[in-house]
Structure 1
Amino acid sequence: MVRRRQTSETGLLRQLPLALLIWGLFSLMMWVPAVYALTLNDHPTSRSFFYAGILGLVVVTTISLARAGRPSRHGLLGQLAVLLSTFAVLPLFLAVPFHDALKTTSFLNAYFEMVSAITTTGAEMFPDPGRLSAPLHLWRAQVGWLGGLVMWIAASAILAPLSLGGFEVTAQGQPGRVLVGQGESVDPRGRLLRVAATLAPVYAGLTLVVAILLLAAGDSGLVAICHAMSVMATSGISPVGGLSGGASGLTGEAILFLFMFFALSRLTFSSDTAMRGHARLDQDPEFRIGLLILLGVPALLFLRHWSGAIDIASGENLTLALRALWGSLFTVMSFLSTTGFESTDWAEARQWSGLGTPGMILLGLSVIGGGVATTAGGVKLLRVYALYLNGTRELQRLVHPSSVSSATGRNRRIQRGGAFIAWVFFMLFAISLAAIALALAAAGSDFETAMVLSIATLSTTGPLIEIGAQEPIRLIEMPAAAKLILSGAMIIGRLETLAFIALITPALWRN
């Protein structure tokens, strides 16, 4: 009897469109800040989220009843279109309770805040934490966490079969084409539900572990849960303005540092997308090149720091050197994973060495980004690795023009011609960067501001807006046109340009 009920529930879920499932999930999650606001006696905020959640569930239920017995006919490309609508259209609904509860901002600002959260960018329209109430901070972190969960699931169930999102480097197939054996013979809706049932408990369990550890380290309940959700989603959203406002200190940073490794490679938590090569973390090229960057950049910064502070008394050097090394290590890891948390010792490291704001270093790390099929943004480590292999091969041919390359076990995950596809994506990323910067310049931004904003949004690293330039950029003071441009840039950065090309190609929608 129980098995029949589970089977009927699964069949009902398979009949519902993916857009309604996502809409219903976010509607249910609105009751979490509603209950939290109720416990704080903030009844207007509680009513805003409670009524919005009811409205969303009523709409989902009504449409579901109207579509009863009419299963969705769209395949993987239809699911990709739903993924686009999740990042572009759903924030219009998510911004309703946020705008109604805040009451002191425009709806455009609320929409921008929700797009920033659901794309795991974390760009803050309100940099002063006191501007928002505790339930609103929780809602921002919660939307970012759910956006990260959507990407975790979509990477295996939607992007991998379509050879998108970095899988075009590893899969034998044209980007956007459904791979035989993964999209044609397997039910896309069933695959999506199976992946969600497998990964959602892992994602929630890891978040709970981080929150408990941060609570034990001294953070308050709101700070612990928001930072835990932010580090798993790589959104960088904080209710206290960053790690400096928390109470966990160095212990909290060490906890977050360990869980940022999940953004370097999908093999850290799942092997469902290991199409080629060994599903071993120590042999994963993404994880290895991520470790190389993680250790190499702080080492260079440390040598620069040491040479800049060699004239300071030796009694002070050791303590300050260790703090500078940790600050560099944590901050490099944070921006490489596109989380954007800044270590409390990062300012001490710069002051100790006399180094100015290293915006170029942080911008470069964010552009590289994390692993394929993770919540991290950027160009992705696997594409960088493919370009590195191609460059190494070209240098070998300069020395030995008649040499023949042989595939080794270390690069078995990269398909033949993967470097060419990676280079095409890199060029598309550069063109998108130039186009967005040009649009922002037309909207009134100067060159430095336009470049920082473009990189921050395309790489989904919102905190770059605060620390990437010489002076923090105030988004709330920008014109409406610039805010709309940045919203579109965050959506492009989250889905990537190849996915948009796949969606607008008519040949891919035939049959």
Structure 2
Amino acid sequence: MRLPLFLQIWAIASLSMWVPAIHAEIRGIHPVSQAFFFSGLLGLVGLTMIALARGTRPPKHGILGQLLALLATFALLPVFLALPLYDGLKTTSYLNAYFDMVSAITTTGADIFADPARLDPALHLWRAQVGWMGGLLMWVAASSILAPLSLGGFEITARGQPGRAVASPDLSARADPRRRLLRVTRTLVPVYTGLTMVVWVALLIAGEEGLTALCHAMSVMATSGLSPVGGMAGSQAGIVGEVILFLFMFFALSRLTFSSDTSATGQARLDKDPEFRTGLLIIVSIPVLLFLRHWLAALEVQPLEDPLLALEALWGALFTVTSFLTTTGFESVYWDEARQWSGLGTPGLILAGLAVIGGGVATTAGGVKLLRVYALYLNGLREMERLVHPSSVSNEGGGVRRIQKDGAFIAWVFFMMFALSLTLVCVILAALGLSFDQAIVLSIATLSTTGPLIHVAADTPIHLAELSGAAKMVLSATMVLGRLETLAIIALITPDLWRN
């Protein structure tokens, strides 16, 4: 507990390298096993030397120091995580390996290796495992780091200013934030691990291969979208596997699906949660509208002869819309049918819009987040009421009471900062030689942490491995910015953190 948070995460990452090392050794792939084993050993030796040099000095800076450690985890730790991937693959550059690890730990899932067969199964396991640990880190950090600082979406409901610690009735957490971090970790790790095991076993029962089932289970819980077989197209579980993954994607719509530790009010009912209800409305309405559009177009040509084809198209739209709303990025095997069964194409821009909306606050999903969208919706509704009745008094229902007085204003500020960040990244990528549509797709995919969007939304395929080194570094920084969000980066500029 006396070690800084970044060193603790480094130790866990070093130990976790021995899992794919054992997997590769059992299969007799000794070079890959050695790459993971010695990289983990190197990390532990370096960690021990730093710990001995520090002595017993406790870490400083409190919660802001933990936020800085979170930034270092997403930006600097992949330099170490890329070692076994680079050494085990041997046919890629270190920059590509670093980009892939940033993509994994930020749960973006931007696959720089176009051919899954190029990687050894142990490397696929490592990528999915890093994404899974990144998702767990966000679960824990949301309650122990971001919530006390009113960041990550909590600025909409909290009473404190973004980036400033909120007074907590928990005296032990106020005195030592590390105790709060430890308590939240002990509470959420069994839940996160247990849910992953349930998905894994369910996929195995559905007929999925062992490693693929495990990687898909970890990817759907972390919303990373990483797959050793190229997604649902290479899955052996069929539509049953898609149904299983579909059900567990709902954990990315609202934190109340697995925990009530950040509930702003005493009531923590899922059916009253505005995020969950908004997510359900989007998940139901958009596939239905797409289905009706294609159905009417098909009837204009000829009567529908195969109802099963229409149902498959409806399911493909439902699964894919949910996947991209939660920023997971898995594409249903029936999505092509959902796009083309009537002869009308469905543009990938719809999926890009869903990724920008994103999932719930304090979950593994990225994007603007449903709570901010809901706050802006309530504000628009209120302004429309005032156009008709200028002297009216607002009716504060249960969902409205959860949002603070300036919540809509803060949500609008964040949305503008998101749009400005998106514009800035687009301009930089265009200056580096990318076309306008490529810059738009790459910016949305990385800023919303929805990597698979790169291969779905673009009309022409974008090969990440062919990008320049400068473009890869820009995208890596954008993924970190999308994971931590702009307000958290701005909070780190406060003098309280850097003053000696």
* Offset of residue 314 of structure 1: 4.6
Q: 1:480 aligns with which of 428, 447, 469?
A: 469
Alignment match, 1:7: none
Q: Do the aligned partners of 1:163 and 1:176 also contact (CA within 8 Å) in 2?
A: yes
Q: For 1:113-192, what aligned pairs fall within 5 Å after superposition? A: 113-181=100-168, 185-192=174-181
Q: Do the aligned partners of 1:37 and 1:43 also contact (CA within 8 Å) in 2?
A: yes
Alignment match, 2:57: 70
* Offset of residue 186 of structure 1: 4.2
- Which amino acid is 1:25 matched to? I
Aligned length: 498
**1:139 and 1:254 mapped to 2: Cα distance?**
25
Deviations 1:74-96 (A, max 9, x none): 20000000000000000000001
**1:263 and 1:355 mapped to 2: Cα distance?**
31
* Offset of residue 313 of structure 1: 5.7
- Indicate the SS of the match to 2:72: helix
* Offset of residue 360 of structure 1: 1.1
- Structure 1 position 394 matched with structure 2 position 421: no
Deviations 1:6-37 (A, max 9, x none): xxxxxxxx212111110000101100110111
**1:406 and 1:93 mapped to 2: Cα distance?**
53
Alignment match, 2:495: 506
Q: For 1:305-454, what aligned pairs fall within 5 Å after superposition? A: 305-311=294-300, 314=303, 316-454=305-443
**1:382 and 1:19 mapped to 2: Cα distance?**
29
* Offset of residue 315 of structure 1: 6.0
Q: Do the aligned partners of 2:139 and 2:188 also contact (CA within 8 Å) in 1?
A: yes
Q: Do the aligned partners of 2:61 and 2:497 also contact (CA within 8 Å) in 1?
A: no
**1:15 and 1:240 mapped to 2: Cα distance?**
42
* Offset of residue 108 of structure 1: 0.4
TM-score by length of 2: 0.98
Q: Do the aligned partners of 1:294 and 1:333 also contact (CA within 8 Å) in 2?
A: yes
Q: Which runs of 4+ in 1 moved over 6 A?
A: none
**1:304 and 1:80 mapped to 2: Cα distance?**
46
* Offset of residue 333 of structure 1: 0.3
**1:299 and 1:278 mapped to 2: Cα distance?**
32
Greater mean alpha carbon deviation, residues 175-184 or residues 53-62: 175-184
Deviations 1:231-271 (A, max 9, x none): 00000000000111010000000000000000000000000
**1:168 and 1:110 mapped to 2: Cα distance?**
35
TM-score by length of 1: 0.96
Q: 1:244 aligns with which of 218, 233, 251?
A: 233
Q: 1:275 aligns with which of 264, 286, 297?
A: 264
Q: Do the aligned partners of 1:177 and 1:508 also contact (CA within 8 Å) in 2?
A: no
**1:179 and 1:509 mapped to 2: Cα distance?**
20
**2:424 and 2:262 mapped to 1: Cα distance?**
32
Q: Do the aligned partners of 1:277 and 1:412 also contact (CA within 8 Å) in 2?
A: no
- Structure 1 position 110 matched with structure 2 position 112: no
- Structure 1 position 24 matched with structure 2 position 17: no
State percent identity of aligned pairs.
68
**Aligned pair in 2 of structure 1 residues 234, 402: CA closer, same or farther (>3 Å)?**
same
Unaligned 5+ segments in structure 1 are 1-13
- Indicate the SS of the match to 1:504: coil
Q: For 1:28-107, what aligned pairs fall within 5 Å after superposition? A: 28-107=15-94
Unaligned 5+ segments in structure 2 are none
**Aligned pair in 2 of structure 1 residues 509, 408: CA closer, same or farther (>3 Å)?**
farther
**2:317 and 2:50 mapped to 1: Cα distance?**
51
* Offset of residue 367 of structure 1: 0.2
**2:497 and 2:460 mapped to 1: Cα distance?**
45
Q: Do the aligned partners of 1:163 and 1:178 also contact (CA within 8 Å) in 2?
A: yes
- Which amino acid is 1:360 matched to? L
Q: Do the aligned partners of 1:176 and 1:508 also contact (CA within 8 Å) in 2?
A: no
**2:14 and 2:346 mapped to 1: Cα distance?**
41
- Which amino acid is 2:231 matched to? G
- Which amino acid is 1:68 matched to? G
